[in-house]
Amino acid sequence: MSDLTIWTYDWVPEGPRGFVRDLRLRWACEEAGLAYEVRTIPFDDRETNHLARQPFGQVPFLSDAGLEIFESGAGLLHLARKADALMPRDPAGEAQTLQWTIAALNSIEMVTVPWWFLKISGDADNELTGWMGQRLGQLEAILGAQEWLAADRFTVADLLMADVLRVSAVRAFGDRPATEAYVARVTNRPAFEKARADQIALFEAGDAARMARG
Ligand SMILES: N[C@@H](CCC(=O)N[C@@H](CS)C(=O)NCC(=O)O)C(=O)O
């Protein structure tokens, strides 16, 4: 048995499969060669059935021996501390990795998720479009000039930024060739492919279990 357990739902509808954020933690473990297992909580009653472990009723959360950690970003940084493959150990490389990891969450995902939500709710030209366009344009300039966000190499910051940017509506927004090449490059990594395939297989098994329950 591994010390690391990634917790997710036992099932989700088809739409979010391949995008549920446990994938970030699976991907990081795969990149780092960290042994882990995946365990589930029931999707039904999710709003109340695990509040002690994830106060918003969401997934993922991570167990590591006696520790429990929620928020995918916190889980990623916890894993990054264990593995050079995710974060360099020199102070400058580590600082760059931390800043870009937080930027992925707090400067990019902070606008892309509400923008996407308004868009799928029928408000395609919503008021967040200008804000998101500005942020993604700024990132496009950076990704046009450098291959990786931090320390001239792949880090957990790239894993997270690419996961934020790979949402199809965000990917299709505007003409951003450097960003598109970056997302393709990062998500072509075998560790991503495995994490994604494993997540989809878990939710497909959940289909069968729900069908058997009737
Ligand atoms: N900020 C949280 C967001 C977690 C989140 O949005 N989880 C989604 C799955 S990817 C979820 O549990 N959705 C179900 C719900 O909100 O009821 C994180 O990064 O861990």
pLDDT in tens, 82-101: 999 999 999 999 999 999 99
> Cα separation of 24 and 188, whole Å?
14
Q: Tell whether the model's pLDDT for residue 214 goes beyond 90.
A: no
Question: What separation in Å is there between the alpha carbon of 90 and the centre of ligand 1?
Answer: 32
Predicted local distance difference test score (pLDDT) of residue 205: 97
Predicted local distance difference test score (pLDDT) of residue 45: 93
Q: Tell whether the model's pLDDT for residue 1 goes beyond 70.
A: no
Predicted local distance difference test score (pLDDT) of residue 57: 97
What would the mean pLDDT of 175-201 be, rounded to a whole number? 98
Predicted local distance difference test score (pLDDT) of residue 124: 83
Which ligand 1 atom minimizes the distance to the CA of 16?
Answer: 10
Contacts for 34-37: CB closer than 8 Å, 24+ residues apart: 34/4, 34/79, 34/82, 34/83, 35/2, 35/3, 35/4, 36/2, 36/4, 36/5, 36/6, 37/1, 37/2, 37/4, 37/5, 37/6
Protein residue with its CA nearest to atom 17 in ligand 1: 58
How much is the mean pLDDT over the chain? 97
Confidence band for 2, pLDDT divided at 50, 70 and 90: confident
Confidence band for 207, pLDDT divided at 50, 70 and 90: very high
Question: What separation in Å is there between the alpha carbon of 54 and the centre of ligand 1?
Answer: 10
Predicted local distance difference test score (pLDDT) of residue 188: 98
Question: What separation in Å is there between the alpha carbon of 8 and the centre of ligand 1?
Answer: 10
Q: Tell whether the model's pLDDT for residue 77 goes beyond 90.
A: yes
Predicted local distance difference test score (pLDDT) of residue 116: 96
Q: How far is residue 29 from each of residues 75, 76, 77, 171, measured CA to CA in Å?
A: 11, 9, 12, 25
Pocket test for ligand 1, best of 19, 21, 49, 69 (most atoms within 8 A of CB): 21
Question: What separation in Å is there between the alpha carbon of 180 and the centre of ligand 1?
Answer: 25
Confidence band for 141, pLDDT divided at 50, 70 and 90: very high
The residues, ordered by sequence, that sit 6+ positions from 207 with a Cβ below 8 Å of its Cβ are: 11
What would the mean pLDDT of 52-76 be, rounded to a whole number? 97
Q: What are the phi and psi torsion angles at 17 (to 5°)?
A: -60, 135
First and final C-alpha spacing in the chain: 32
Predicted local distance difference test score (pLDDT) of residue 192: 98
Q: Tell whether the model's pLDDT for residue 194 goes beyond 90.
A: yes
Domains of the chain, earliest start first: 4-84+191-213 (3.40.30.10), 91-189 (1.20.1050.10)
Q: 95-140, pLDDT tens digit by residue?
A: 999 999 999 999 999 999 999 999 999 998 899 999 999 999 999 9
**Residues enclosing ligand 1, CB less than 6 A?**
20-21, 46, 57-59, 71-73
